[in-house]
Amino acid sequence: MGNAPGRVQLKKYANRRLYDTEKSAYITLNDVVEMVKQGRRVEVTDVDTGEDVTAFTLTQIIMEEAKKKNVLLPVPLLHLIIQYGETVLADFFGNYLEKMIKSYLTVKNIADEQFGKWLDVGAAINQGKNSAFSAENPFQSFFKQFFSSPKPGDEKNDKKNSKE
């Protein structure tokens, strides 16, 4: 377990204290939470045994958060986890759940960005700015048919005017 970029090596002592080898200081579980939220990967090693206790430490953090909110996972799912233990669910959690969550976050970010672009286009139209009709705008042809002013000599206008 070497120190790769973005990784933080922590040592766990018998008194449950965590030592950050990067900062040479003791830290709390809340500090670990902040590291993970910043995208850092933590590796926790038991000082006495040399055992990797990263999963245990991260689970402990999740359980502490669950205590605060009085819920972590739906009760039926908790029953399945206990019922099937490591046999079926370890494969699911190890291989699929992480990928599903990452995919969800990617799609959510793309949707949020696209929605923001739509709001910008709507705001520009609302303010009467021509920038909403720039060549980069994917809705240019759609909006032009409704919001562009007719040009003199336009065949469609001439036909409409002659019918009136």
**pLDDT of amino acid 82:** 73
Q: In the structure, what pLDDT confidence band is assigned to residue 28 with cuts at 50, 70 and 90?
A: very high
* Nearest one of 53, 4, 64 to 29, comparing CA atoms: 64
What is the rounded radius of gyration, in angstroms, for the C-alpha atoms of the chain? Answer: 28
Distance of CA 42 to the CA centre of its chain: 19
Q: Is the pLDDT of residue 1 over 50?
A: no
Number of helices followed by number of strands (H, E) in the chain: 6, 4
| Residue range 51-105, pLDDT digits in tens | 999 989 998 888 888 887 777 777 787 777 777 776 676 777 777 888 888 899 9
- Beta strand ranges found along the chain (DSSP E): 7-12, 18-20, 25-27, 41-46
- Higher-confidence residue of 21 and 69: namely 21
Contact indicator for 17, 57 with CB cutoff of 8 Å: no
135-140 long-range contacts, CB within 8 A, separation 24+:
none
The residues spanned by each domain of the chain are 7-72, 76-150
Within 10 Å of residue 90's Cβ, how many Cβ atoms? 12
* Nearest one of 45, 40, 39, 41 to 19, comparing CA atoms: 45
CA distance 79 to 77: 5
* Nearest one of 20, 45, 15 to 31, comparing CA atoms: 20
Q: Give 25's strand partners.
A: 20
